[in-house]
Amino acid sequence: MVALGAAPPGPLLARPGEPRESGLDRGVTDVTTSSIEAYRYYAEGINFHERSLSAQAAPLLERAIEVDPEFAMAHAKLAVVSSNLGLFNKRDEYAQRALSMIDRLTTRERYYIEGFYYGLRPETIERSIVAYKQGLALHPEHQASRHNLGLHYLFLERYAESIEQYEELLRRGTSNPSTYQNLAGAYIGTGNIGRARELMAEFVQRYPENAVGLEGHAETLVADGQLDEGRYLFEKSDSLNPLDFVARLGRRNVALLQHRWVDAESATKELVDAASPFQRFVGLIGAGHISIARGQSRRALEHWDRAARIPGVAPFNRAAARNRQAMMLLRNGKPAAALTQAELAAIDARNRDQEFETLQLLATAQAALGRSADSAKSLAVLEERARRLPSQREQRRVHWAQGEIALIRGDTGTAVSELTKALSTLPVHGPVTGPPSSHADLWFAAASVNIRAGRDTEAAQLLERLQSAYERVFGMEAYARSFFLLGQIYERRGDVARARQQYARFLDLWRDGDLERAWVAEAQKKLSQ
C-alpha cells in the first residue's frame, strides 16, 4: 500500500474570486490506497460529501472500493454517508471493514476510523471520544475528526464542548453546511436560538443555493416560532435537493405543528413510498404521530407495527417503533400489551441508544403488572447502562422511571421528586427534525404526576409549555391530552372561558377518534352548558 500525497480538490462551494475554504477533509494530506483511479473516485465522492450531498457521494465511494477493496478511508467515508442516508446496516458493515484495515494506515486515518467505529454504540462511545482526541492531538488540522467529536458531544448533550469544537472548525474556515447546522443545533439545545439563527443566516447568505444550509436555517426559524418562514425554506431545500429526505421531514413537522393534516399526510406519503427502508420507517413513524394526534390509536399502532416490520430496516429502528407502541399502550392502561412490545424491543435495542428507553418502559410496565422483582431488575440495568455513558443524559430516564413506578405504588411525593429531577436534566430545547426528543412526553408525565399530587400550578406550567413548544411534534398524544387536562385545571381555578377554549381544542383533535371517549363526552358536555 502507498500513501498518495495529493489532497482531494477544493470545495465546490467557493464562488468565483473567493479564496478556497477548507472542508472537513481538506486537512487530509495522505490517504492510503494502491490505486490512483480509486483515489480519484474517492476525491469526487468527498466533494459531494463536503456539501452534505450524501446520495450523490455514495456511488462514487462505492466505485472507489470496487477499484481498491482495501481502501480503508473509502470504506470509512461510505460508512459515514450511509449513516447520513439512514442505511445503518450498511454503515455498520463498512465501518467494520474499515476498522479491519487500520494496521496498515497512517495515524490520522487510524484514529479517525477508530473514532467512527467505536462511536456507533453507547458502551464504546468513550473510547471513540478518546480516539478522536488522540488523533487531533497529533493532527489538529483534521477537521472531520473534530466535526465527529463535536457531533458526539451534541448527542450526549454536552453542548459547551460541542460548541467549542464547531466554533473551532468555523475559525479554521470550514465551508461544510453540516458543521453550521450542528453548531446551530448545539446553540438551540442551550436556548441560544438567536446565535443559531445568526449562524445559519450567515451561511445561507454566502451559499443561497445550498440545500442543507437552507434546511438548517429553516430549523432555526421553527425553533424561534417562525413556522411559515421555516416552511418556505424547507420547501425550497426540498426542491433543490429532492434526494435529501430531511427537508421533507421538516415540511411534515411544520404541517403537524400548524394542524395542516392534508399537507402532513402528503409529506408522509412521499416518505412511505420511498425506496429507502429508513425513509419508509420515518414515514410510518410520522403517520403514527398524525393518527394519534387525531385520537386514532388503532391506526397509530398499525403504522408503528408496520414500521417495525420493514425489510432491511436496522434492528434499533425496529426497537424504536416498538418503544413508541409500548409508551402509548402504557399511557392507555394496557401494561401487558406494553410489556410485550418492550420485550420485543429489548431484543433489537441491546447496546444501542434505544435500549435506555426500552429499559425504562420494561421497568414501568413490569411494575404496573405487579412484577416488582422484574421491575427492580430492569431498573438496575438501566441505572448501570446510564452510569457507563459519558454524559448525564440517560440519568433522566432513571429518574423518570423511578417517578412512574413510585406513582404506581401510590407514592406521589416520591413521584413528584423523581420527575422533577428528570426535568432538571432536560435541555432547553430538542432537535427540530430529529432525532426525536423526549421533551413532550416528559413534560406530560411530570404534569400528570403533579396533578395527582394536587399541584395544579406546576402542572399547568408544564402543559402550557408543551402546547407552545415545537418539540410536541414528537409527542402528539401528550399534546392532544394536554388540552383536556389543562381545561380541567382552568375549570378548578374558576376560569371558565379558558377552560372552554381548551376543551374545544381537545375536541378538534379527538372528537372522532377511539381514545378516551369518556374525556370526549365530558368535554362535549362542558361546552354544551
175-197 as b/e: b if 16+ CB within 10 A = bbbbbbbbbbbbbbbbebbebbb
Strand partners, 3: 32
Q: What angle do CA 58, 61, 67 make, to 5 degrees?
A: 140
Question: Span 314-336, mean pLDDT?
Answer: 97
Class of domain 1-165: mainly alpha
In this prediction, residue 261 carries a pLDDT of 97
pLDDT band of 86, cuts 50, 70, 90:
confident
pLDDT band of 1, cuts 50, 70, 90:
very low
Instruction: Spell out the residues 6+ positions from residue 112 whose beta carbon is closer than 8 angstroms to its own.
Output: 73, 76, 131, 132, 135, 142, 144, 145, 148
pLDDT band of 92, cuts 50, 70, 90:
very high
Per the model's pLDDT, the better-predicted residue between 16 and 293 turns out to be 293
In this prediction, residue 259 carries a pLDDT of 97
Please tell me the distance from the alpha carbon of residue 199 to that of residue 191, in angstroms, as a whole number. Answer: 14
Per the model's pLDDT, the better-predicted residue between 20 and 482 turns out to be 482
3-state secondary structure of 469: coil
Q: What are the extents of the domains in the chain?
A: 1-165
Burial, 328: exposed, middle or buried (Cβ in 10 Å; 0-12, 13-18, 19+)?
A: buried
Predicted TM-score (pTM) of this structure = 0.91
Torsion of CA 241, 243, 248, 249, to 10 degrees: -130
User: Which letter does DSSP use for residue 34 in this model?
Assistant: S
**For 260-286, how does the pLDDT look when each residue is reduced to its tens digit (9 = 90+)?**
999 999 999 999 999 999 999 999 999
Are 468 and 430 in contact by the 8 Å Cβ rule? The answer is no
Instruction: Spell out the residues 6+ positions from residue 170 whose beta carbon is closer than 8 angstroms to its own.
Output: 179, 180, 183
Residues in the chain: 529
Please tell me the distance from the alpha carbon of residue 248 to that of residue 45, in angstroms, as a whole number. Answer: 24
pLDDT band of 163, cuts 50, 70, 90:
very high
Listed residue (442, 439, 353, 454) closest to 403, CA to CA: 442
**For 409-427, how does the pLDDT look when each residue is reduced to its tens digit (9 = 90+)?**
999 999 999 999 999 999 9
Q: Which of 101-105, 213-217, 448-452 is predicted least confidently?
A: 101-105
Question: Span 284-290, mean pLDDT?
Answer: 97
